[in-house]
Amino acid sequence: MRLTQGMFSFLPDLTDDEIAAQVDYFIRNGWAVSIEHTDDPHPRNTYWEMWGQPMFDLGSTRPFMTALAECREAMQSAYIRVTAFDATKGWESPRASFIAHRPTAEDGFALARTSVQGRTQRYGIRADVTDRPTAGRYR
């Protein structure tokens, strides 16, 4: 099941040139660009792990694209997203975020039912992948 989170997620995956063009736009706006990855794609899992430090004050897209390539190489079976953070007073929050890499086989989500207080049912979703131990996720 294709994960749809962040910008552009209903479009075909962005090519490297397209990613670079987006990052170029972020830089021109003075936003700090960072790379994050995770193996738990649950939509409520907002805290992905950082790949290196956020890149403040980038001069061009080249160092970013190099770092992204390194992250993909090391994290082939993870989701990788690019986030642009605007530190301007009044914003102080991410202004853009999109998935830049996804595992070749994407597992879906399961509907989890929990019985509480007699016959009441609570529903939730959990990513299938998180049923497996970390080492076995994303063959």
Choose between 66 and 76: whose C-beta lies nearer to another protein. Answer: 66
Site string for another protein, 62-81 (x = CB under 8 A): xxx-x---------------
Calpha distance 123→104 (Å, rounded):
29
Q: Which stretch binds another protein (CB under 8 A): 36-44, 61-69, 70-78, 115-123?
A: 61-69
Query: What's the distance, Cα to Cα, between the start and end of the chain in Å?
Result: 15
Choose between 18 and 128: whose C-beta lies nearer to another protein. Answer: 18
Q: Which stretch binds another protein (CB under 8 A): 58-66, 96-104, 111-119, 123-131?
A: 58-66
Binding to another protein by residue 55, rule CB under 8 A? yes
- For CA atoms 68, 76, 125, 5, the dihedral sign is positive
Among 44, 57, 89, 113, binds another protein (CB under 8 A): 57
Binding to another protein by residue 17, rule CB under 8 A? yes
CB-based contacts of 114, cutoff 8 Å, min separation 6: 121, 122, 123, 124
Choose between 56 and 91: whose C-beta lies nearer to another protein. Answer: 56
Q: Which long-range contacts (CB under 8 A, 24 or more apart) does 104-107 make?
A: 104/77, 105/138, 105/139, 106/1, 106/2, 106/3, 106/41, 107/1, 107/138
Binding to another protein by residue 92, rule CB under 8 A? no
Which residues bind to another protein, rule: CB under 8 A? 17, 20, 53, 55, 57-60, 62-64, 66
